[in-house]
A and B are shown apart, each in its own frame.
Chain A
């Protein structure tokens, strides 16, 4: 690699930053510049809600201290990109400045979806994705908000509801589908989350859609109307019906875009030396049967970044994600998933085993194929070991064997209730067979760790 090569990365989210770090690890001489208009320093946007709720300050969301970038010779350039001259290999900023590149990485992330609702641009109406969105939300909730309405049932929506609850603002939550996050969660899981939301006094309205956002005389929201005709007075509307790649400045250029920037599994776009990773990249075909062409998850962003870092360092690799995993926290209930657990499945091809604790807050589901081999798991309210499930799903273990070894998968802290024992009993009760039911450990007996 020539020592004066300049790699410019637009976007300092997890994808762009991971790419920069990996590239620096593998190549000590390449010049690396990361551009961001949002924030000079990398921060974890997954933690925006915690800043709002006072769990952390903004500086706590920065995974690296400020000296880190200079030490690793990663140049940080603050500014919003206006356009890119792909023939001259030049990035033009809104400020009029420009930067030359040899390799360009587009990692501009997402922006909240807006579906053309009447009134969606009124004051007091917003999504939540960026640092600026957070600042806007703080501003929008400074003055008395008697009620907020959140539109769209996904992870950001429930985070927003929790944030508003911190300010004691009552929330009405409109979900178009018949269950919360029901395009991802099976029915029982979706109901579990819905129950928990209602326990937190969130007014959850399923099968309800936004029709119109109504303005007061100052172009500020004063109410919304639902498709069923109900008018709900509110001073804040959160639009959280998913996100879409943030690539408006790249449309109508020679770059091939669809929803996102079209890339192959080497993250190459149709233009040489131009790459795209993270939320804003769209693969020509899905990377795996259970994945989508646009992957908008923290973990996939990190993997894209890692992989492209290797590619830019001259290694011959292609993006090949492993076993799927994800996690989230719904108010107080943690959720993890490993492998493939879709919202719906064909009962003739897939067997489902699930167990639910009497509290209704602890839940385990395992899907198996008709031969009984594990496909994936969902778990709520307790923790399971990633490494274990990565192995057993990859090696297609028999479901009974997985359950027998479930104590090895337990990732809950010491002294916690041994839910895996109850799950083993339930599995044995349903399918019989040679299932090992773990014994309580001495410590568990001593401290009466009961399920």
Chain B
């Protein structure tokens, strides 16, 4: 490793360390004015009363502040819950906005400085590590040592990385009050982009986009000389940066709804939720365009593009989850389970999620038009269940946190309802397939090993059979790592796409009637 790369790792670790210690900085002081400014009108009176014991008190850490908050808040709510006075219970969680308002920290005072010292150093370090990679080596894909690596083969480094990611997601989704400093840190940037202060989701979006960019650079280095890999990496970097990150923020700046034009239902599971529909309908021409655009993507975009190109057009070229999996997750792709057993689980789980998403959305729409007369409460329960179990736990905590344990496509393979929908089209009505080059397969297993979706590519390749699988996201790595040039992603005629009686070219002894 070159000196500059070692320095890069050092800077990256320093950046991560600064980011990690940030929650422990500063003190927290709550005042009545802050409570008034951060609570809803209907709760203001109660909240100022509930939290009055905290006023003027200086808490030296987020732990003591949040526990004091919970203590006071719960003592109010618990009584009401015991008495079953459900209408008086305050369901909103004010811990995040109040912690954010109360904190007095060097981060809040110097957001740009801390941004530079944490995210900035991590990005710089990441680039210093990635850019010089393979510099003095001839062009070619090197998977050297991945199974000897503590990071990429479930070693101690992988365990630590996975644990860190899981912890991050848990805090982000359920305990954001602990990371108010980091949110303050990105607030000035949010002000520039959208004119609003940052939320924890802006923080997440920033880190997400930077992770895709820095690790996208790694992809450019790793797949030098491979135009397919380079172009699709550039594509996911572009769609994440422009469509998922910048455009929605800029829309807000111009008083339009926050909208990611490339996110498609049912991955975008709340697209048909009543508050979303209301937002679209109340935002004039732009809102109406968003609604129609979103529906057109579902009913025309997905089937048509998938018919011509396979689901790869979305999963490994456009999608944000795919974008992270293909960049940050690329070092872990070989950890996906290739067994037939895993495939069985995969089919059951992913299609169940699709069914649940469809049923939930159907109920939502029926309720919307019937004025929530029928199953309003059930729908709300379903929304919160889905949001928790699928949206947060499955897609976030497991989807990304499990990269170092189960590979980079856990969510896409087992959970994503949009992937299931795209997959059904790909399997039954598409021109896409992976073609096997006659009899050239040597069964070495590179293709299967490096398939992030856990497809046993070799099973088909060694039989001279075309590979038509609903889960294939068309990343093209099987083709890239094949030492004999056997595999190629192709769009072609539908005839002969699924040949059950494969013929391996080159042996004239036997004639098989296909």
B residues contacting the other copy or chain, number (CB 8 A): 47
The digit string for A37-73, where 1 denotes a CB below 8 A from any CB of B, is: 0000000101100100111110011110100000000
The yes or no answer to B444 lying at the interface (CB within 8 A) is yes
Residues from chain A with Cβ under 8 Å of B483 in the complex? 328-329, 334
Which of B339, B445, B479 has most chain A Cβ within 10 Å?
A: B445
Q: How far is the CA of A265 from the CA of B437 in the complex (A)?
A: 27
Q: Are B443 and A44 touching (Cβ within 8 A)? A: yes
The yes or no answer to B276 lying at the interface (CB within 8 A) is no
Q: Are A334 and B485 touching (Cβ within 8 A)? A: yes
Query: Distance (Å) between the CB of B174 and the closest chain A CB?
Result: 37
**Partner-contacting stretch, out of A127-135, A182-190, A295-303:** A295-303
Q: How far is the CA of A65 from the CA of B340 in the complex (A)?
A: 8
* From A57, A387, A414, contact of B228 by CB (8 A): A414
List CB contacts (< 8 Å) of A312-326 with chain B.
317-325
* B450 to A, closest residue via Cβ: A55
Query: Distance (Å) between the CB of A202 and the closest chain B CB?
Result: 12
Residues from chain A with Cβ under 8 Å of B506 in the complex? 299, 303, 321-325, 386, 390
List CB contacts (< 8 Å) of A241-289 with chain B.
none
Q: Are B459 and A56 touching (Cβ within 8 A)? A: no
Q: A55-B143, A55-B144, A413-B226 are in contact. Are A306 and B507 (CB under 8 A)?
A: yes
The yes or no answer to A411 lying at the interface (CB within 8 A) is yes
Q: Are B484 and A310 touching (Cβ within 8 A)? A: no
Query: Distance (Å) between the CB of A288 and the closest chain B CB?
Result: 10
The yes or no answer to A345 lying at the interface (CB within 8 A) is no
Q: Are B145 and A54 touching (Cβ within 8 A)? A: yes
* A200 to B, closest residue via Cβ: B138
Query: Distance (Å) between the CB of A390 and the closest chain B CB?
Result: 5
Q: Are A317 and B510 touching (Cβ within 8 A)? A: yes
The yes or no answer to B160 lying at the interface (CB within 8 A) is no
Residues from chain A with Cβ under 8 Å of B507 in the complex? 302-303, 306-307, 320-322
The yes or no answer to A14 lying at the interface (CB within 8 A) is yes
The yes or no answer to B156 lying at the interface (CB within 8 A) is no
Residues from chain B with Cβ under 8 Å of A332 in the complex? 138-140
The yes or no answer to B64 lying at the interface (CB within 8 A) is no
Query: Distance (Å) between the CB of B357 and the closest chain A CB?
Result: 32
Which of A46, A47, A56, A331 has most chain B Cβ within 10 Å?
A: A56
List CB contacts (< 8 Å) of B429-484 with chain A.
435, 437-440, 442-446, 448-449, 458-459, 462, 476, 479-480, 483-484
Residues from chain B with Cβ under 8 Å of A196 in the complex? 138
Residues from chain B with Cβ under 8 Å of A46 in the complex? 442-444
Query: Distance (Å) between the CB of B77 and the closest chain A CB?
Result: 53
Q: Are B438 and A415 touching (Cβ within 8 A)? A: no
Query: Distance (Å) between the CB of A420 and the closest chain B CB?
Result: 14
Q: Are B340 and A416 touching (Cβ within 8 A)? A: no
Q: Are A50 and B505 touching (Cβ within 8 A)? A: no
* From B139, B440, B479, contact of A386 by CB (8 A): B440
Q: Are B439 and A299 touching (Cβ within 8 A)? A: yes
Q: Are B488 and A63 touching (Cβ within 8 A)? A: no
List CB contacts (< 8 Å) of A218-253 with chain B.
none
Q: Are A414 and B489 touching (Cβ within 8 A)? A: yes
List CB contacts (< 8 Å) of A171-205 with chain B.
196, 199-200
Q: How far is the CA of A332 from the CA of B140 in the complex (A)?
A: 5
The digit string for A398-434, where 1 denotes a CB below 8 A from any CB of B, is: 0000000000000111111100000000000000000
* B511 to A, closest residue via Cβ: A317
* B141 to A, closest residue via Cβ: A332
The yes or no answer to A327 lying at the interface (CB within 8 A) is yes
Interface residues on A, range: 35 or more
Query: Distance (Å) between the CB of A332 and the closest chain B CB?
Result: 3
Residues from chain A with Cβ under 8 Å of B504 in the complex? 302, 306
The yes or no answer to A449 lying at the interface (CB within 8 A) is yes
Q: Are A50 and B446 touching (Cβ within 8 A)? A: yes
The yes or no answer to A447 lying at the interface (CB within 8 A) is yes
Q: How far is the CA of A413 from the CA of B448 in the complex (A)?
A: 18
Q: How far is the CA of A148 from the CA of B462 in the complex (A)?
A: 35
* From B227, B442, B458, B462, contact of A447 by CB (8 A): B227
* B139 to A, closest residue via Cβ: A332
The yes or no answer to B63 lying at the interface (CB within 8 A) is no
Residues from chain B with Cβ under 8 Å of A447 in the complex? 227, 231
The yes or no answer to B146 lying at the interface (CB within 8 A) is yes
Residues from chain B with Cβ under 8 Å of A385 in the complex? 437-438
Residues from chain B with Cβ under 8 Å of A321 in the complex? 506-509
The yes or no answer to A336 lying at the interface (CB within 8 A) is yes
The yes or no answer to B148 lying at the interface (CB within 8 A) is yes
Query: Distance (Å) between the CB of B481 and the closest chain A CB?
Result: 8
The yes or no answer to B201 lying at the interface (CB within 8 A) is no
Which of B145, B146, B483 has most chain A Cβ within 10 Å?
A: B483
Q: Are A199 and B445 touching (Cβ within 8 A)? A: no
Q: A57-B147, A298-B442, A383-B437 are in contact. Are A390 and B485 (CB under 8 A)?
A: no
Q: How far is the CA of A447 from the CA of B440 in the complex (A)?
A: 30
Which of B485, B489, B509 has most chain A Cβ within 10 Å?
A: B509
Residues from chain A with Cβ under 8 Å of B439 in the complex? 299, 302, 325, 386
* From B147, B445, B479, B510, contact of A310 by CB (8 A): B510
Q: Are B509 and A319 touching (Cβ within 8 A)? A: yes
Q: A306-B507, A322-B506, A325-B506 are in contact. Are A449 and B437 (CB under 8 A)?
A: no
Residues from chain B with Cβ under 8 Å of A336 in the complex? 440, 484-485
Q: How far is the CA of A447 from the CA of B506 in the complex (A)?
A: 36
* From A60, A317, A328, A390, contact of B448 by CB (8 A): A60
* From B231, B444, B505, contact of A390 by CB (8 A): B505
Q: How far is the CA of A320 from the CA of B339 in the complex (A)?
A: 36
Query: Distance (Å) between the CB of A371 and the closest chain B CB?
Result: 24
Query: Distance (Å) between the CB of B59 and the closest chain A CB?
Result: 50
Q: A54-B149, A63-B462, A200-B138 are in contact. Are A411 and B505 (CB under 8 A)?
A: no
Q: How far is the CA of A46 from the CA of B443 in the complex (A)?
A: 8
Residues from chain B with Cβ under 8 Å of A47 in the complex? 442-446
The digit string for B112-150, where 1 denotes a CB below 8 A from any CB of A, is: 000000000000000000000000001110011111110
Query: Distance (Å) between the CB of B451 and the closest chain A CB?
Result: 11
The digit string for A423-451, where 1 denotes a CB below 8 A from any CB of B, is: 00000000000000000000000010100
Residues from chain B with Cβ under 8 Å of A323 in the complex? 506
Residues from chain A with Cβ under 8 Å of B489 in the complex? 413-414
Q: How far is the CA of A328 from the CA of B479 in the complex (A)?
A: 15
Query: Distance (Å) between the CB of A418 and the closest chain B CB?
Result: 11
List CB contacts (< 8 Å) of B405-445 with chain A.
435, 437-440, 442-445
Residues from chain A with Cβ under 8 Å of B334 in the complex? 56
Q: Are A303 and B509 touching (Cβ within 8 A)? A: yes
Residues from chain A with Cβ under 8 Å of B148 in the complex? 54
Query: Distance (Å) between the CB of A417 and the closest chain B CB?
Result: 8
* From B138, B231, B440, B443, contact of A327 by CB (8 A): B440
Residues from chain B with Cβ under 8 Å of A327 in the complex? 440, 484-485
* A391 to B, closest residue via Cβ: B505
Q: How far is the CA of A327 from the CA of B506 in the complex (A)?
A: 13
Query: Distance (Å) between the CB of A223 and the closest chain B CB?
Result: 29
Residues from chain A with Cβ under 8 Å of B145 in the complex? 53-54, 166
List CB contacts (< 8 Å) of A357-397 with chain B.
383-387, 390
* A449 to B, closest residue via Cβ: B227
* A448 to B, closest residue via Cβ: B227
Q: Are B509 and A44 touching (Cβ within 8 A)? A: no
Q: Are B438 and A60 touching (Cβ within 8 A)? A: no
* From A44, A56, A412, contact of B147 by CB (8 A): A56
Give 8 nearest A-B pairs by CB, closest first.
A386-B438, A332-B140, A383-B485, A47-B444, A415-B227, A54-B145, A54-B148, A303-B507
Other than the known A200-B138, A307-B510, A317-B510, what 6 A-B pairs have Cβ atoms closer than 8 Å? A55-B446, A55-B449, A321-B508, A329-B483, A414-B489, A415-B227
Q: List, sorted by A's number, 6 A–B pairs whose CB atoms are closer than 8 Å.
A: A55-B147, A55-B446, A306-B507, A325-B440, A328-B483, A387-B437
**Chain A residues close to B by CB (< 8 Å):** 14, 44, 46-47, 50, 53-57, 60-63, 65, 166, 196, 199-200, 298-299, 302-303, 306-307, 310, 317-325, 327-329, 331-332, 334, 336, 383-387, 390, 411-417, 447, 449
